[in-house]
Chains A and B, each alone.
Chain A
Amino acid sequence: MRLAPHWRVRAQRLQLRGEVCECCGRHLFPPRDVCPSCHQPANEPFPFSGEGTIYSYSTVYEPPRGYEQYAPYTVALVRLKEGPLVTAQLTDVDPADVRIGLPVEMVTRALREEGEEGMIIYGYKFRPVLEQQAAVH
């Protein structure tokens, strides 16, 4: 069981917390110590809104170990409103309804379970924005 690797990234996993570079103003997710754009130190926390649109996606039918119970599931690159792309699973959506440009929002879900007595690891997934769903149905 690997506890520390999941514990230390809890803020980004559960709150979608990244950083904003105080030097160039770029929003960073995941957080890192050096801004990849202007190469200055980056350490100002920034909570992302969790709103974004789908940049691209693919449905996984043959999942890695630990993800069988979610299959088939759709993974996506989500373009967050504030700029960065983030890789995540989509949830609460039929794979057939996913398209590039679809507005999505972050929710917290179980990412994987590490066996009968292992941990359940929670983190961000994205679902279609609820108001839009309401408008459609």
Chain B
Amino acid sequence: MTRVSIIGIGQTSVGEHWDVSIRDLGAQAVLAALHDAGIERPDALYVGNMLSGPLASQEQLATLIADWSGLRGIEALKAEAACASGAAALRVGYMAVASGLHDVVVVLGVEKMTDLDGDEATIALMNAADAEYEAIHGTTFISLNAMLMRRYMEEYQVPHEAFAGFPVNSHANAVYNPQAMFHQAITRETFVGARMIADPINLFDSAPIADGAAAVVLCAAERARELVPHPVRIAASSVATDSVALHDRHDPLFLAAVYNSAMKAYRQAEIGPQDIDLFELHDAFSIIAALSLEASGFAPRGQGTRLAADGEIGPHGRVPIATMGGLKARGHPVGATGLYQVVEAALQLRGEAGKNQVPDAHWAMTQNVGGVGGTAFTHILEG
């Protein structure tokens, strides 16, 4: 199997891009990544996106963005795995290069969520759940996560304040990320006093939806050093699935897909969680951050919030997470998120993360989760 490296990265800012459509937003990130890699025409474009159908009435998205990026004619297709669509596209791109089928591919994650009024985008997120047995009961995506959080707090006797460390860390890091949606630090008091969204989930437990696009260029690792000064190797790429519906799991507080994808990734990279220098996890909700740390081997069950409380998740801590703001403060353009995580991890490994630089970062892990843990992708990057 061919070893695969990232030789170019590109991203737009995360926020409300009312002046551009999804095709332009996607093309901006594609062109930025190709420029960074010094590549003019890749063999293929793989696009991660969840909601272009319901929100922009647009499918054949990858073909459209290829054309709008000046790449008409190349292989192009879209990958979908709900909020993990970005990492799904990366996985396709990785397989294409690792198999030897293609020499150079570009992978894009893009989502445009602010074009429609009101709660349309929030409602569309419920497409990630089981339509016939969850959504029909008026369940919202937030309420599914709220049920998980409430059970966690009850079962492990963890107070709500214990989750404060996650958004406090994310917002502190986003201050120095020019592409992030929010640039304002928050305190524990901000968190504790925040408006309730779906009890026990409050405003700061929940990542904001947004527009955004991020892209990477992949090629064979052996060629990478000839092309760019700081290639980043993809040391592991893995995916695992669970039931889509929370109620179909024996133990909803154990994210089996996260666990299985992380363990597969550690095996492929031949390292363990103790070797990871930074972990871009899927903090769509603070409860998912805690459960992901536990399922990925960084904390015992029921103790995920302790890492945050002890200050170990900051850029200089033992397990730095959300180093550029994470989903919570960089923003969560769902299908693009998996690529933002990889672009940010690559910045860290290239030593280009500015004030958020994790010292001597060599191994980075990114993890992108679809639904409430239904699909989980884990990638390990080596700088």
Contacts and interface: CB of A to CB of B under 8 A. Distances in A.
B140 interface: yes
Give the bracket for the number of chain A residues in contact with chain B: 20 to 34
B50 to A, nearest CB: 17
Contacts of A84: 247
B150 A75 contact: no
Contact of A87 (B137, B150, B154): B137
Interface residues of B, number: 33
A63 interface: yes
Interface string A41-80: 0000000000000011111111111110010010111000
B133 interface: yes
Contacts of B136: 111-112, 121, 123
Nearest to B145: A58
Contacts of A85: 246-249, 252
A25 interface: no
A75 B252 CA distance: 16
Interface in B103-144: 119, 122-123, 126, 130, 132-140, 142-144
A5 B132 contact: yes
B151 interface: yes
Interface string B240-260: 000101111100100000000
Contacts of B139: 60, 75, 87
Given A58-B144, A60-B138, A112-B136, 18 more contacts: A30-B132, A36-B248, A56-B150, A58-B146, A58-B147, A58-B201, A61-B198, A65-B123, A75-B138, A75-B147, A77-B252, A87-B133, A87-B137, A89-B138, A100-B151, A100-B154, A111-B138, A121-B136
Interface of A: 5, 9, 30, 36, 55-67, 70, 73, 75-77, 84-89, 100, 111-112, 121, 123, 125
